[in-house]
Amino acid sequence: MSGHNESILREPLITGDNITYAKITDDILSPVENKPNKAWWIGFIVSALGALLWVVAVSYTFWNGIGAWGLNKTVGWAWDITGFVWWVGIGHAGTLISAVLLLFRQNWRNSINRSAEAMTIFAVICAATYVVSHMGRPWLAYWVLPLPNQFGSLWVNFNSPLVWDMFAISTYFSVSLLFWYTGLLPDIATIRDRAVGTRKKIYSIFSFGWTGSVKTWQRFEAVSLILAGISTPLVLSVHTIVSMDFATSVIPGWHTTIFPPYFVAGAIFSGFAMVLTLLLVARKVLGLENYITMFHIESMNKIIILTGSIVGVAYLTEFFIAWYSGSEYEQYAFINRSTGPYWWSYWMMMTCNVISPQLLWFKKIRLSIKATWILSIVVNVGMWFERFVIIVTSLHRDYIPSSWAMFYPTWVDISVFVGSIGLFFTLFLLFLRVLPSIAIAEVKLLLKTASEQAKMKQIKEGHENKEYVAEYIESLEKFDSVKQEDYAKI
């Protein structure tokens, strides 16, 4: 792929000069091969405490029963399924980045796909914990699997969206894990080659005997493409099926045909926000500015504007349809969302998900790391509220007014959720320590064509159109990792 030059108009995907293959390896493996710094330890301890809280809260729930949560006869799901959908949604960006963008040859994905995929896997783990822990009898969770059994003719109900869910989530998890691990093989081999002693032995086992031969690479590329092909429909199907948990029900506010696309858009929206939350910090702390550039950040922000706007349109469409349907229950459900006892959660959702991403239309905000980071968190707060609004405010006042009730979380509800965030970050921080957070091999692919120094070489060769060069140089202004003075003289 490196035989020809890339258009000068394209912004560089790797910045910095004197970037060599060796330097890429050194830069990316630095956190893996060196002792962790103080920032990592602080983050890890806080996250591990969070994970511990999760263990305590979930054990408490298992020991005492679901009654430890604030649920009641009317609101049978609240923070549990809110958390579940939230985590599944977050996972979606990883798959989109690794699979869809690969198929579309979006090379900028190469720098972020590894972390995004790791995030997917950890988010799906967090989501899966809710699947089990929200059950009244979690020790029987395996009953939702269509396992041959000796209980007679007992089988699962293929009409139930929860069974679809089980298939969707397990497929999603296994395919994501496979895809992620396949991508990791050459990088693990790199670590193996540089490691000594026990480390070498461990990495050598996990590298599955990667040799780096042409045949290996060829097969690697083929498998990646096939897995991308398998993963791509999952980006759409998983959250579609999650949305069917609600859409196939009869509850006003849930029974909505718009849910599948709306949920998928919301999932990508929240997923990219989470990628930003993680990578903006990782980029700085791990010194990866040259690989995760402003271009990446801006691209992700653009996706957030797009998906955020889709979500906004979906919110408005729901309202319109509620009015247009003429169904009094549906109408009440939506009026109740915006003006009922939980109005604040609705407006929280609207502000965070619809209004705040629109700020990203401003280039200044889009290119501000601080603003982006804050907005990425705001978006995920909003997305949590979106699920809370859908689940709790629809349930708490449905058809029969006598059963209308309020939901108040207990400390256990809160701890399970906060704890799941702790669990997620614990896993992510461990990941940063043992595996390369950027796909080394894939980034190396870009060095000869799409890096700043390659472009610089192209300019210096002088065959490029001057106007284009000027445009290119202008585009570099936003990069915080580009030495602008190098271009001043050109």
Closer Cβ to another protein, 321 or 359, answer by number = 321
CB 37 within 8 A of CB 457: no
Q: Which residues contact 99 (CB under 8 A, 6 or more apart)?
A: 179, 227, 228, 229, 231, 232, 234, 235
If binding is defined by CB under 8 A, does position 163 make contact with another protein? yes
Specify the DSSP element, H or E, that contains 41: helix 38-64
- At closest approach, how far in Å is the CB of 405 from another protein? 4
Q: How far is CA 345 from CA 134, 351, 391, 401, 455, in A?
A: 22, 10, 11, 21, 49
For residues 418 to 457, the per-residue mask of contacts with another protein, x marking binding by CB under 8 A and - elsewhere, is ----------------------------------------
Closer Cβ to another protein, 66 or 355, answer by number = 66
Of residues 32 through 51, those in contact with another protein by CB under 8 A are none
Select from 13, 90, 166, 241 the one that contacts another protein (CB under 8 A).
166
If binding is defined by CB under 8 A, does position 70 make contact with another protein? yes
- At closest approach, how far in Å is the CB of 165 from another protein? 8
- At closest approach, how far in Å is the CB of 137 from another protein? 4
Q: How far is CA 250 from CA 204, 244, 245, in A?
A: 54, 11, 11
If binding is defined by CB under 8 A, does position 409 make contact with another protein? no
Select from 44, 77, 84, 342 the one that contacts another protein (CB under 8 A).
77
If binding is defined by CB under 8 A, does position 216 make contact with another protein? no
Task: In whole angstroms, give the CA distance from residue 267 to residue 264.
Answer: 5
CB 179 within 8 A of CB 229: no
- At closest approach, how far in Å is the CB of 416 from another protein? 16
- At closest approach, how far in Å is the CB of 89 from another protein? 19
Tokens of 280: 């903006």
306 burial level (CB within 10 Å; 0-12, 13-18, 19+) = middle
If binding is defined by CB under 8 A, does position 212 make contact with another protein? no
- Any idea what DSSP says for residue 451? B
Q: What is the DSSP string of 411-429?
A: HHHHHHHHHHHHHHHHHHH
**Which residue carries 């969070």 as its tokens?**
50
For residues 310 to 349, the per-residue mask of contacts with another protein, x marking binding by CB under 8 A and - elsewhere, is ------------------xx--x-----------------
Closer Cβ to another protein, 55 or 405, answer by number = 405
Binding footprint of another protein, residue count (CB under 8 A): 49
* Window of 2-10, 151-159, 188-196, 275-283 that interacts with another protein by CB under 8 A: 151-159
* Window of 40-48, 241-249, 266-274, 278-286 that interacts with another protein by CB under 8 A: 241-249
Please write down the HEC assignment for all residues of 137-164: CHHHHHHHCCCCCCCCCCCCCCCCHHHH
Closer Cβ to another protein, 65 or 287, answer by number = 65
- At closest approach, how far in Å is the CB of 370 from another protein? 41
Biggest alpha carbon distance in the chain? 82
If binding is defined by CB under 8 A, does position 170 make contact with another protein? no
Select from 155, 324, 411, 468 the one that contacts another protein (CB under 8 A).
155
Closer Cβ to another protein, 160 or 170, answer by number = 160
Q: How far is CA 38 from the centre of its chain?
A: 26
The dihedral built from the CA positions of residue 69, 128, 45 and 272, taken in this order, carries a sign that is negative
- At closest approach, how far in Å is the CB of 13 from another protein? 45
The CA angle 473-475-477, to the nearest 5 degrees, is 80
If binding is defined by CB under 8 A, does position 154 make contact with another protein? yes
Of residues 345 through 404, those in contact with another protein by CB under 8 A are 395, 397-404
Tokens of 159: 């009409």
Closer Cβ to another protein, 70 or 351, answer by number = 70
If binding is defined by CB under 8 A, does position 74 make contact with another protein? yes
Find, among 221, 302, 282, the residue nearest to 11 by Cα: 302
Closer Cβ to another protein, 376 or 394, answer by number = 394
Closer Cβ to another protein, 247 or 278, answer by number = 247
CB 452 within 8 A of CB 469: no
CB 300 within 8 A of CB 119: no
Select from 18, 34, 150, 159 the one that contacts another protein (CB under 8 A).
159
Residues of this chain that interact with another protein (CB under 8 A) are: 64-67, 70-74, 76-77, 134-138, 140-141, 143-144, 154-157, 159-163, 166, 245, 248-251, 328-329, 332, 395, 397-406
